[in-house]
């Protein structure tokens, strides 16, 4: 369709695995997860790392909320340099491995610390591998986010959520044609309505515990009122006006490992400053009030066990704490 936003999904397919078949074996302390708090795709990896307790074995570098054509910058760190990798831009790690790399420099990315080379930026695979390949390093009580008996259902939900919601907000916001925008808008809210119906009967998307499906949906929902409703013209309703999805998002936000990864000032700065074709002034809005995320959610009535037979993760490391939305 003319004017439709098309996402480049051509990511580096290399994997970090227990058997090291791609040349990068699972090894505590060897890899650095580079993220940006602003990015919903990176947010997934941050959440899964928290839920599984991988903080002691996979360090995390946090890029600033804005970037230019040369990639994400470590401008939050002293001297504008990642203290572990010793680089100013994520692009440098890509070019060490691929000197002629000409695709997007994206987060999340796993970087091999000894060589300084990027290993992968394949965001869907990174979280699955954290769950499956890094098992020997999971914390006691870590949840099973991709249970074998539910994988086909999780995959089906994730596929629909990706196309219509995760990427759907971008298809609406980045469209350059009225028809393309309206098509994306209609699919987005149709899918949200379907999920609202589903979640009116069950606490989580698949089964009675948190799974990869919830990890995929949450980053888009939690950003909805702050950026997608206005900035991306996804304005049929705010999330706070949709009771089921509002309370579902509240529930997850208040679950350790979810809300404690969300940095709203950086999220808003990224979208409103970087997307100058949509917001030429670069002015970041003061609102909206997001304190509703801390109000009671009432989802307990639907049953469910957030971590199954497991337990919640402990508090995040001091260096990774984020401000409250209230």
Cross-strand partners of 35: 62
Q: Is 31 an active-site residue?
A: no
In degrees, rounded to 5, the angle at the alpha carbon of residue 40 between the alpha carbons of residues 34 and 41 is 60
Token readout for 239 is 């999330």
Instruction: Please state, in angstroms and as integers, the Cα–Cα distance from residue 296 to each residue in 5, 36, 119, 250, 252, following that order.
Output: 37, 29, 41, 8, 12
Rounded Cα–Cα distance for residues 53 and 153 (Å) = 25
CB atoms within 10 A of CB 271: 23
Name the residue among 274, 280, 189 with its Cα closest to residue 239: 189
> Pick the catalytic residue: 39, 248, 271, 272?
39
Q: Is 39 an active-site residue?
A: yes
Kind plus residue range of the DSSP H or E element containing 119: strand 117-120
DSSP structural state of residue 89: B
CB atoms within 10 A of CB 292: 18
Radius of gyration of the chain (CA): 19
Strand order in the sheet with 109-112: 59-63, 31-36, 109-112, 117-120
* Residue positions annotated with a catalytic role: 39, 170
């Amino acid at each position: 369709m003319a004017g439709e936003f098309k996402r480049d999904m051509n990511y580096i397919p290399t994997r970090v695995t227990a058997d090291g078949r791609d040349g990068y074996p699972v090894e505590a302390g060897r890899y650095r997860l580079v993220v940006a708090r602003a990015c919903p795709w990176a947010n997934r990896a941050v959440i899964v790392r928290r839920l599984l307790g991988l903080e002691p074995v996979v360090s995390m570098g946090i890029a600033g909320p804005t970037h230019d054509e040369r990639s994400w910058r470590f401008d939050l760190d002293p001297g504008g340099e990642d203290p572990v990798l010793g680089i100013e831009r994520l692009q440098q790690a890509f070019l060490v491995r691929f000197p002629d790399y000409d695709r997007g420099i994206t987060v999340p990315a796993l970087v091999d610390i000894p060589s300084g080379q990027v290993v992968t930026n394949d965001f869907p695979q990174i979280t699955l591998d954290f769950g499956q390949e890094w098992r020997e390093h999971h914390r006691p009580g870590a949840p099973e986010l991709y249970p074998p008996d539910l994988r086909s259902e999780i995959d089906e939900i994730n596929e629909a959520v990706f196309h219509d919601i995760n990427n759907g907000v971008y298809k609406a916001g980045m469209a350059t044609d009225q028809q393309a925008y309206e098509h994306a808008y209609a699919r987005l809210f149709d899918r949200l309505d379907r999920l609202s119906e589903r979640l009116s009967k069950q606490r989580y998307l698949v089964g009675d515990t948190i799974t990869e499906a919830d990890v995929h949906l949450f980053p888009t929902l939690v950003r909805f009122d702050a950026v997608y409703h206005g900035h991306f013209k996804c304005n049929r309703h705010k999330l706070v006006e949709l009771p089921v999805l509002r309370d579902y998002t509240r529930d997850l936000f208040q679950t350790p490992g979810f809300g404690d990864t969300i940095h709203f000032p950086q999220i808003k700065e990224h979208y409103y400053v970087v997307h100058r074709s949509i917001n030429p002034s670069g002015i970041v809005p003061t609102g909206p009030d997001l304190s509703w995320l801390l109000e009671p959610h009432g989802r307990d009535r639907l049953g469910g066990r957030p971590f199954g037979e497991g337990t919640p993760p402990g508090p995040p490391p001091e260096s990774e704490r984020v401000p409250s939305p209230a």
